[in-house]
Structure 1
Amino acid sequence: MDTSAWIRGPVGREARDRLTRTDLKAVLVLVQTVTAANRLADVLPVFDGDHRVQPVYTVPRGADTWYGVETHVRSLGGLVMPWEQSVRLEWDLVVSACREGIEQVHGNLLMLPHGAGAGKSRARSRMCAATEATTGLDREMLTHRGRILPAAIALPTESDRELLSDRCPEALDRAFVAGDPCLDRLVASRVHREQYRAALNVAAERPLLVVSSTWSPESAFGRHPGLCDRLLDELPAHRAAVILHPNIWAVHGAATIRGWLARAIARGLLVIPPERGWQGALLAADVVIGDHGSTTAYAAALGARVVLATAAEDNLRPGSVADRLRRSVPSLDHRRPLAPQLAEARCANGFAAAVSTQRGVAHERVRAVAYRLLGLAEPPWPARIGPVPLPEPLPW
């Protein structure tokens, strides 16, 4: 095995000879996608201030490795260990928001949801040959060779617990309802709304329309790529921004996206990069035009006025977050003018409960479980919920 790229990190047989702090508990953070990185960024501050804990990041390798993930993690200042090195070590805690690679690492695994809701909104996988229904909490996702992989599974809602009980009941005693750390952080950041609008250079009296698209041909951008141009044509008094799922950027590349949106960018469209500010852009929005992705669900859970550009009705799991949102807000008729339809956009009253049934306590509950798995007493200070970062639209 080629070990030439291995790092002299804080874990391993010879680590004590190079450590500044000794007796550290090592936390391996699995980052399979930029989406996972964003999710984990909402949670990892629970370790802030604790000199006993050392996070180390790694990006699982394989046929489905996503372009740009490791570059993104390094840009955050994370200590990145090669995957081949990380799987040969024992970790005090492993934290992951995705399934990929979790059977190869060694340590107490804390699983977090990948997006809004622990259960997937799609009825079928994106894999081309998939015909079976999938939920994300299935036995096939949580076990390997008959062994339950996570030591603890954080769930946002009681409905997710019921889903787990149905799909993998042997893992139920490892689950806990924590709420949603991303939603809690968004709610705590609402007091900074004017700062997020200022960062986007949106005047106080000017409405901001935000288009949110997940990935796949069923998404808002997949089905209606000209929607941003239409918004600028038909509502020139508004500002417009677009949030595209990180996997769109990873698959197609920034240059291609810039080319696709060039006409709209030239007329003032704000393009929010996947790693810099989608949450702040949601908080700044007056109306969100979205689809079945998690970003639209978070907008609705925040109480924003939402309308759907598409809803992928034929591939939504009944009772999922996206299915409940589809039944709560209007959908655009793309044959009609947009302005009167956007005026009818409404808040999905009570929808927040579909995303989290334990609001305001997610960081506290995740931290309690993480420290139990680490075998450490929790710090005496409260778990931190910092504000989401200011949005930084691309300078195009």
Structure 2
Amino acid sequence: MLGVVHNVTSATRLFDVLPLLATDHRVEVIFACTGSSPFGRDVDPHLDRNRVHQVGWSELAERRVDLTISTSHGGPLHELDSPVVILPHGMGYNKYLSAETRKSENPVFGLAPEWLLSGGVPIASSLVFSHDEQVERLRDSCPAALDVAVVAGDPCFDRMLASAPLRRTYRDAFGLQPGQQLVFVSSTWGPESLYGTAPKLVRELRDELPLDEFAVAVALHPNIWAHHSPWQVEMWLDDCRRRGVVLVPPEEGWRAGLIASDLVVGDHGSVTFYGAALGKPTLLATWPEDAVDPASPVGMFIAAADRLTPRRPLGEQVRAAIERGRTHQEITRFTTSVPGEAARLLRAEFYRLLHLPEPEAPALTRVVPLPELSPRPPAVEIVRADLRIAEDQLSAALVRYTADVAPLPAGAGLMVSTGEPCSAQLELADIVVHDQPGDAHGWIADTLDAFPGAVLATMPVNGSTWVVGTRDAGFVEFTSAGGDGRVWSVVVLAWLREGRRVADFPALVRLQAGQAGSASLCRVASAEWSSPRSS
């Protein structure tokens, strides 16, 4: 059996369906790349990571192939002698491939005769669609292909549906804290995409949304990574990463991100539509109506979906969209005619074409894998804590935003992490943070000596205890379960700015950060420790 790879996007969808066959000892899968995609330069590394071997396209004439599965129409599929199954690698067929096709009466990519027929005959033995509405559009665009049309659902969407009960697990993988909401930003490829038209939007969202209320993640289409190189994309997004934005790898992770999310900000790509189909509120940052068939599900969706406009505060729009909770189920119902049934229907079709009986065990839908992510706190934060003392108990309301350097809002401080900040930011820091456990007392002494402008330095001694040190007034140990331990230093900074002494710091602090509350036991120690540099 042959799996045809066009580019990384098509390969990821291919790996969704191949396990339906590849576990059968009667079937051996080989892979070949058509070489027809302008975004194919990352195919070889992707296949290497998946530990599969490729066969050269010219070698296929000498190999016995009983079935070919392709998740793209690209390449010389008509040259193959075996039965060919073609599946979409996105949410059906919605986009025009070029400006020229938009101006004509041609149907969208994947439904046009030039993609489906060779010599007037269908290239595919089975042309798989996820919903009956796609077959109705096929009836108008290419009736000669109707006889090979098969409605078998959407295996990618089914995997997300099956994974929905694991939402908490995926949220943990994205580093979400209690009370945080995840804004998931998705961009398709091309100049009319979200990233093509608003490359600064991700940073702007992160800067305007409070850190303890919102996390931000971004997933760019694999074609963007392939065209510009992973290094270049990571450089373009480096400022976002330093602000705590989670960068989703191009191959996998976007599905887990959709499940984990509370809001999807996107464009006319499949990922945004999938988010709405999963019941997520959505905002469109760009909506090129002439890029998609208005009669297609994505065309109807971008005509109806709420817009994100740069002329209004982004935080206000994000909160309003989550509150409205609009998901457009009347449109997203066109994702699949047979939800949860793709594995069963596709396996039956594959074995029919192989002329083999199906295995006795039922076809299984696999959940999507945990993404390989490295969520990290921002390098620089604007912080403020409002204190209230009642009955010998200290309560603090915390607000944090990402930031560059000054000027700061009134009453705020600058907290800078040792995780790749700029030297100018460290020089201006009120609080210097180190996130790795170690010799807190010694590190604090050295760090405050090194940065004369800093008021405090803080680091953990273990997973539950953080030490906040002052220059000459001792230090405070905070012991709490979970959460971001760096926040306790903000409470100490506010305490000192009110003219209070460290020695009078209470034994219990209750903290409210966004929607989450936490408490910490505190222990004040004397200042009778000295820097190695001053001894």
What TM-score do you get using the length of structure 2 for normalisation?
0.66
Instruction: Give the equivalent residue in structure 1 for 2:339.
Output: 359
In structure 1, list runs of 5 or more residues that go unmatched: 1-26
The one-character-per-residue Cα deviations of 1:259-309 (angstroms, maximum 9, x if unpaired) are: 211111111111101113111111111111010001111111111111111
Post-superposition offset of 1:87:
4.5
The one-character-per-residue Cα deviations of 1:233-260 (angstroms, maximum 9, x if unpaired) are: 1003211100000000000111111121
Query: Any conservation in 1 of the 2:22–2:29 contact (CA below 8 Å)?
Result: no
Alignment of 1:1-396 (within 5 A): 27-62=1-36, 64=38, 66-101=40-75, 102-117=77-92, 119=93, 121-122=94-95, 124-126=96-98, 131-132=103-104, 133-135=106-108, 136-237=110-211, 238-345=214-321, 346-393=326-373
Amino acid in the other structure paired with 2:339: R
Structure 1 residues 166, 134: closer, same or farther in 2, change over 3 A? closer
- Structure 1, 349-358 or 31-40: larger mean CA deviation: 349-358
Structure 1 residues 306, 63: closer, same or farther in 2, change over 3 A? closer
Query: Any conservation in 2 of the 1:300–1:351 contact (CA below 8 Å)?
Result: no
- Identity of matched residues, %: 38
Amino acid in the other structure paired with 1:126: S
Post-superposition offset of 1:76:
0.9
Amino acid in the other structure paired with 2:221: H
Amino acid in the other structure paired with 1:106: D
Post-superposition offset of 1:63:
7.0
Amino acid in the other structure paired with 1:307: L
Distance 1:379 1:155 in 2: 24
Post-superposition offset of 1:145:
2.3
Distance 1:85 1:134 in 2: 34
Query: Any conservation in 2 of the 1:74–1:80 contact (CA below 8 Å)?
Result: no
Distance 1:321 1:171 in 2: 21
Structure 1 residues 395, 254: closer, same or farther in 2, change over 3 A? farther
Amino acid in the other structure paired with 1:243: A
Amino acid in the other structure paired with 1:125: L
**SS of residue paired to 2:83:** strand
Instruction: Give the equivalent residue in structure 1 for 2:473.
Output: none
Distance 1:171 1:88 in 2: 29
Query: Any conservation in 2 of the 1:190–1:283 contact (CA below 8 Å)?
Result: yes
Post-superposition offset of 1:310:
0.8
**SS of residue paired to 1:318:** coil
Per residue, is there more strand in 1 or in 2? 2
Amino acid in the other structure paired with 2:87: L
Query: Any conservation in 2 of the 1:288–1:306 contact (CA below 8 Å)?
Result: yes
- Structure 1, 346-355 or 276-285: larger mean CA deviation: 346-355
The one-character-per-residue Cα deviations of 1:36-60 (angstroms, maximum 9, x if unpaired) are: 0111122112125311111111111
Distance 1:71 1:127 in 2: 32
Post-superposition offset of 1:88:
4.2
Distance 1:305 1:174 in 2: 36
**SS of residue paired to 1:57:** strand
Distance 1:49 1:361 in 2: 19
Query: Any conservation in 2 of the 1:288–1:299 contact (CA below 8 Å)?
Result: yes
Structure 1 stretches of 4+ moved >6 Å: 127-130
Structure 1 residues 53, 275: closer, same or farther in 2, change over 3 A? same
Structure 1 residues 129, 349: closer, same or farther in 2, change over 3 A? closer
Query: Any conservation in 2 of the 1:45–1:384 contact (CA below 8 Å)?
Result: no
Query: Any conservation in 1 of the 2:170–2:256 contact (CA below 8 Å)?
Result: yes
Query: Any conservation in 1 of the 2:122–2:148 contact (CA below 8 Å)?
Result: no
What TM-score do you get using the length of structure 1 for normalisation?
0.88
Distance 2:254 2:124 in 1: 29
Post-superposition offset of 1:127:
6.8
Structure 1 residues 30, 395: closer, same or farther in 2, change over 3 A? farther
Distance 1:129 1:281 in 2: 33
Post-superposition offset of 1:131:
4.5
Larger Rg: 2
The one-character-per-residue Cα deviations of 1:340-360 (angstroms, maximum 9, x if unpaired) are: 211232322333312111111
Amino acid in the other structure paired with 1:112: L
Distance 1:352 1:130 in 2: 24
Structure 1 residues 373, 63: closer, same or farther in 2, change over 3 A? closer
Post-superposition offset of 1:126:
3.3
**SS of residue paired to 1:193:** helix
Instruction: Give the equivalent residue in structure 1 for 2:407.
Output: none
Distance 1:383 1:141 in 2: 30
Q: How many residues align?
A: 367
Structure 1 residues 395, 83: closer, same or farther in 2, change over 3 A? farther
Structure with more relative contact order (C-alpha pairs < 8 Å, separation 6 or more): 1
Distance 1:148 1:280 in 2: 36
Amino acid in the other structure paired with 1:262: D
**SS of residue paired to 2:166:** helix
Distance 2:2 2:62 in 1: 12
Distance 1:225 1:65 in 2: 20
CA RMSD, 1 decimal: 1.8
In structure 2, list runs of 5 or more residues that go unmatched: 377-535
**SS of residue paired to 2:329:** coil
